[in-house]
Amino acid sequence: MLKLTRRTILMASAALAAALPLALGPISASAQELPKLEKKESYKVGFAQTESNNPWRIAQTQSMQDEAKKLGHQLVYTDAAGSAAKQVADVNSMIAQGVDLIFLAPREEKPLIPAVRAAAKAGIPVILLDRNVDQALAKAGKDYVTFIGSDFVDEGKRVAEFLLKEKPDGAKIIELEGTTGSSPANDRKKGFDDAIAGKAGFEVVASQSGDFARDKGRQVAESLLQAHPDANVVYAHNDEMAMGAIAAIEAAGKVPGKDIMVLSIDGGKEAVQAVVDGKIAAVVECNPRFGPKAFETLKRYADGETIEAWVKNVDAFYDKTNAAAEVANAY
Ligand code: AHR
């Protein structure tokens, strides 16, 4: 027979509270106070991953698993397989399992907010990893502990600054956006578009989502290259789409790096090698090795420290000046 303890009731009502807003739409109000994390030798920690269809995600998961193992924590891992609804269900299942803390890489900025609040209501702190939620609707220190990740706006800006320097006379740009509604797609677009706005001769001739995926990136690049034969730059929001774009450029009988400059973000081995080979001009790194910083932040929180709203990752930059030396260190 099910024993109804206060914690069981709290967890069940929190799981229900998280499920309802997804069905009904509106995002409910914040939890009043963030749950604390008891000091323990080892924790049962949830990691709600968004998908695992690319090397960046695989490297991130590996880093979390390695660090949890090294420190003797139990990691409850879920893969939302690219579905925000599944990720909400994954967080609810972690709440029901009574994990001590949840690391969440929210697929999109809005749909995961009710699940974040449900965890807080159940007494489980949440740390956002690599992707953020909508900052107009939820806040660090109130709804979740902190966001650990890169400055995506700055990543887009750094790509634009490279382009402005390399092609001072202007460019016709095809932009391959990441997953619609995700913080890296929104911010990488903003950082890049703002930096070229008003610069004479620079124009984004088409901008469309390739969902951070290689095949989708290739398909979108193929049709945009056909529609805009005068485009001479592809800016991809991640390496997977950049590699897809390279395939599309070659299929169109053009030479990546010569006829069309390719710019990317992430810094995986394959893309850094493509810089060495001259097919990609520059890659801004977005470091996926979150494990050490994630668990160090967990410990700081358990120790009673007030955690800053944003634990920022510092990212490298690869171009022809350093790619050959750095390729071995890339993930
Ligand atoms: O949130 C980070 C982004 O998500 C990476 O750039 C991308 O490759 C991944 O899917």
**Residue 225 shares a structural domain with residue 196:** yes
pLDDT tens for 158-197 read 999 999 999 999 999 999 999 999 999 999 999 999 999 9
Q: For the chain, how many residues are written?
A: 331
Per residue in 246-266, is it b (16+ CB within 10 Å) or e — as a string? Answer: bbbbeeeeeebbeebbbbbbb
pLDDT tens for 277-296 read 999 999 999 999 999 999 99
Angstrom CA distances, 184 to 102, 178, 318, stand at 21, 7, 19
What lies within 8 Å, CB to CB, of 195 at 6+ separation is 156, 157, 160, 161, 164
Domain membership of residue 68 (yes or no) is yes
Q: Is residue 9 over pLDDT 70?
A: no
pLDDT tens for 79-113 read 999 999 999 999 999 999 999 999 999 999 999 99
| 248 within 8 A of 221, measured Cβ to Cβ | yes
**Residue 270 shares a structural domain with residue 306:** no
Element (H, E) at 80: none
Q: Is residue 34 over pLDDT 90?
A: yes
**Residue 192 shares a structural domain with residue 273:** yes
**Residue 119 shares a structural domain with residue 197:** no
**Residue 252 shares a structural domain with residue 276:** yes
The CA 19 to ligand 1 mean position distance, Å, reads: 26
Amino acid of residue 133: V
The CA 24 to ligand 1 mean position distance, Å, reads: 29
| 27 within 8 A of 110, measured Cβ to Cβ | yes
Mean pLDDT on 8-27: 43
Q: From the alpha carbon of 286, which atom of ligand 1 is closest?
A: 6
| 284 within 8 A of 319, measured Cβ to Cβ | no
φ/ψ (deg, to 5) at 38: -60, 145
Coarse DSSP helix, strand, coil percentages of the chain, rounded to the nearest 5 percent: 45, 20, 40
Domain membership of residue 321 (yes or no) is no
- Parallel, antiparallel, or unpaired for β 126-129 and 147-149? parallel
Domain membership of residue 1 (yes or no) is no
The CA 13 to ligand 1 mean position distance, Å, reads: 33
Domain membership of residue 327 (yes or no) is no
The residues with which 120 forms a beta bridge, in sequence order, are: none
The CA 156 to ligand 1 mean position distance, Å, reads: 13
**Residue 41 shares a structural domain with residue 99:** yes
What lies within 8 Å, CB to CB, of 304 at 6+ separation is 36
pLDDT over 90 percentage in the chain: 90
Which among 205, 208, 279 is positioned nearest to 239, based on CA atoms?
Answer: 279
Mutate to test the pocket of ligand 1, among 51, 56, 182 (most ligand atoms within 8 A of CB): 56
**Residue 127 shares a structural domain with residue 159:** no
Amino acid of residue 176: L
The CA 56 to ligand 1 mean position distance, Å, reads: 6
Mutate to test the pocket of ligand 1, among 50, 57, 176, 331 (most ligand atoms within 8 A of CB): 57
Amino acid of residue 79: D
pLDDT tens for 232-288 read 999 999 999 999 999 999 999 999 999 999 999 999 999 999 999 999 999 999 999
Domain membership of residue 298 (yes or no) is yes
What lies within 8 Å, CB to CB, of 325 at 6+ separation is none
**Residue 122 shares a structural domain with residue 246:** no
Which among 324, 237, 326 is positioned nearest to 245, based on CA atoms?
Answer: 237
**Residue 141 shares a structural domain with residue 225:** no
| 268 within 8 A of 55, measured Cβ to Cβ | yes
**Rg, the chain, Cα only:** 21
Q: What is the CATH number of the domain that holds 246?
A: 3.40.50.2300
pLDDT tens for 61-77 read 999 999 999 999 999 99
Distance CA(80)–CA(328), nearest Å, equals 30
Which among 91, 69, 82 is positioned nearest to 14, based on CA atoms?
Answer: 91
**Residue 197 shares a structural domain with residue 102:** no
| 80 within 8 A of 51, measured Cβ to Cβ | yes
pLDDT over 70 percentage in the chain: 90
**Residue 163 shares a structural domain with residue 190:** yes
pTM of the model: 0.91
Full domain range(s) for residue 215: 152-286
Which among 217, 183, 239, 229 is positioned nearest to 55, based on CA atoms?
Answer: 239
Q: Is residue 10 over pLDDT 60?
A: no
Q: Is residue 4 over pLDDT 50?
A: no
**Residue 206 shares a structural domain with residue 92:** no
Confidence class of residue 30 from pLDDT cuts 50, 70 and 90? low
Q: Is residue 13 over pLDDT 70?
A: no
Q: Is residue 24 over pLDDT 60?
A: no
The total number of structural domains that make up the chain: 2
Domain membership of residue 328 (yes or no) is no
| 177 within 8 A of 210, measured Cβ to Cβ | yes
- Ligand 1 binding residues, C-beta < 6 A: 54, 56-57, 130-131, 184, 212, 238, 240, 265-266, 286
| 121 within 8 A of 10, measured Cβ to Cβ | yes
Domain membership of residue 128 (yes or no) is yes
Domain membership of residue 326 (yes or no) is no
Report which DSSP code applies to 140: B
